[in-house]
Amino acid sequence: MSGPALPAGLRKLAPAERKALWERLYFDGTEAAAAGNAGSEALELSDLLVESAVGALTLPLGIAQGFLIDGRRYDLPLAVEEPSVIAAAGYAARIVAEGGGFVTEADEPLMESYVYLEGVSAEGEARLASEGAEARIRAALGAIQGSLERRGGGYRGRRVYRLPETGLVALELSVDVRDAMGANILNTAAETVKSQAEELSGGKALMCILSNASPRRLARARFELPLAALAPFARGFSADEAARRVVLAWRLADEDPARAVTHNKGIMNGVASLAQATLNDTRAVEAAAHAWAARSGRLRSLSRYEIADGSLRGAIELPLALGAVGGSVDLHPAGKAALRLLGDPDSRRLARIAAALGLAQNFAAVLALVTGGIQKGHMRLHAARLAYKAGARGDDARRAADIVAAGGAYTLAAAEAAVASLRAGAGS
Ligand code: MEV
């Protein structure tokens, strides 16, 4: 079912007109518009960030508390629509804190950008790979990367290679992007050296673009949890057995790509929510993580678990190109507030926090899955959504959700009946 058509020249309308039109045509009354679309200040920002803005989606923002990362307490801002994500992150964080928390590290923020050239002869390829070419590229990039170099970043070297299928020659530039996510720096770098690359190689550039793969911008997190500390969370299993099942669940994800997709999706539940809350590029982070997980030619788990010395050990490694400055990150007040809550981290610290969060999210999911399943907890949260859909608000939504959960039938009809019974009770 499609809604009413929007005018073709939508982008030419004033932002407030676009917003009013959008809300009039597509929201079910002013209450729905107020819940679903942010106000005029947010619209102004949206208009700056995207074309044809009609509003700002009010994605839930919550705080996962109780993280102990490298000896420091953190509350993590997460923006996500899925009910269980923040609850699960906080739950795992509290369990892991019992064992001393997460230990993390992150590589230097090195990323790659490419000029892809066609029609390059073997001699042209050799000229592009020569020391003389290196000096010219370095000089050209030095001229535009002064402020990046003053902050400790800048050009770090290049690689030239030919792709066998297309015959294209790639000029790969490595750049330390410091606290930025890096897209602008990297794309500018490739475009800056394009004419030199064409001249040196005798070829013609097909495109200049960064790679989001970021295989050298990795972050890692690990934890060690004494089995005795796991025992209270093993839901009827012994701690040894729960830990054994967690390890087997990791081996399953590492073996069966069908399971790895979902296992890694659970990790990204946390990572992408933190990226979203800090106004980072969630798609870049997702694309890089999944490509990294498949780097062996088979999709594998981003995390791993083992039992050693009476403890369950968890670890994760993944590329995390998160910016702490630039883009929308330090422009958007919501991004700035999220970063302030995190203690205004640099990009490497942010990546370390995200790695710990991804591991926490994974541990919560896997532990729940192997000790009785996730649906019971999920359905309780689902009941609250059904109650909202049935028209309950505030305390009534919670009460109606309790009635639905107690009845065990998670349907809209059950929620409507619960709301009706509450209203009847209030009226009597
Ligand atoms: C749900 O969003 C995430 C999980 O499916 C992750 C997993 O299966 O590991 C619970």
Q: Decide whether any atom of ligand 1 lies within 6 Å of the 269 Cβ.
A: yes
pLDDT at residue number 330: 85
Ligand 1, atom 4: nearest CA belongs to which residue? 266
Q: Decide whether any atom of ligand 1 lies within 6 Å of the 263 Cβ.
A: yes
Estimate the crossing angle of helix 257-277 against helix 84-98, to 10 degrees.
100
Give how far Cα 196 sits from Cα of 154, 163, 171, 216, 307, Å.
18, 20, 11, 26, 54
pLDDT at residue number 238: 97
Q: Judge whether residue 53 has pLDDT over 90.
A: yes
125 CA to middle of ligand 1, Å? 47
331 band by pLDDT with thresholds 50, 70 and 90: confident
Q: Judge whether residue 1 has pLDDT over 60.
A: no
Ligand 1, atom 3: nearest CA belongs to which residue? 266
Active-site positions read 82, 265, 281, 378
Q: Decide whether any atom of ligand 1 lies within 6 Å of the 81 Cβ.
A: no
Per the model's pLDDT, the better-predicted residue between 117 and 332 turns out to be: 117
Ligand 1, atom 10: nearest CA belongs to which residue? 365
Phi-psi region of 112 (alpha: psi -120 to 50; beta: other; left: phi over 0): beta
| Among candidate residues 80, 21, 60, 66, the one with its CA nearest the CA of residue 360 | 66
Q: DSSP 3-state assignment of 68?
A: strand
State the DSSP code for 57.
Answer: B
60 CA to middle of ligand 1, Å? 19
| Residue bearing tokens 């990204």 | 268
186 CA to middle of ligand 1, Å? 34
Ligand 1, atom 2: nearest CA belongs to which residue? 266
pLDDT at residue number 265: 98
In one letter, which amino acid is 140?
A: A
Q: Calculate the average pLDDT of the chain.
A: 95
Entry pTM: 0.92
| Mean pLDDT, range 324-337, rounded to an integer | 90
365 CA to middle of ligand 1, Å? 6
Q: CA–CA separation, 377 vs 209, rounded Å?
A: 44
328 band by pLDDT with thresholds 50, 70 and 90: confident
Q: Judge whether residue 375 has pLDDT over 90.
A: no
| Mean pLDDT, range 50-73, rounded to an integer | 95
pLDDT tens profile 191-225: 999 999 999 999 999 999 999 999 999 999 999 99
Q: CA–CA separation, 312 vs 314, rounded Å?
A: 7
Which percentage of the chain shows pLDDT scores above 90? 88
Q: Are the beta carbons of 175 and 191 closer than 8 angstroms? A: no
Q: Decide whether any atom of ligand 1 lies within 6 Å of the 82 Cβ.
A: yes
Q: Residue 99: phi, psi to the nearest 5? A: -100, 10
pLDDT at residue number 277: 96
User: Ligand 1: which of 91, 263, 378 to mutate, most ligand atoms within 8 Å of CB?
Assistant: 263
Q: Judge whether residue 343 has pLDDT over 90.
A: yes
Q: Judge whether residue 376 has pLDDT over 80.
A: no
Q: CA–CA separation, 306 vs 248, rounded Å?
A: 9
pLDDT at residue number 286: 98
Q: CA–CA separation, 209 vs 215, rounded Å?
A: 16
Phi-psi region of 168 (alpha: psi -120 to 50; beta: other; left: phi over 0): beta
Q: Decide whether any atom of ligand 1 lies within 6 Å of the 304 Cβ.
A: no
pLDDT at residue number 275: 98
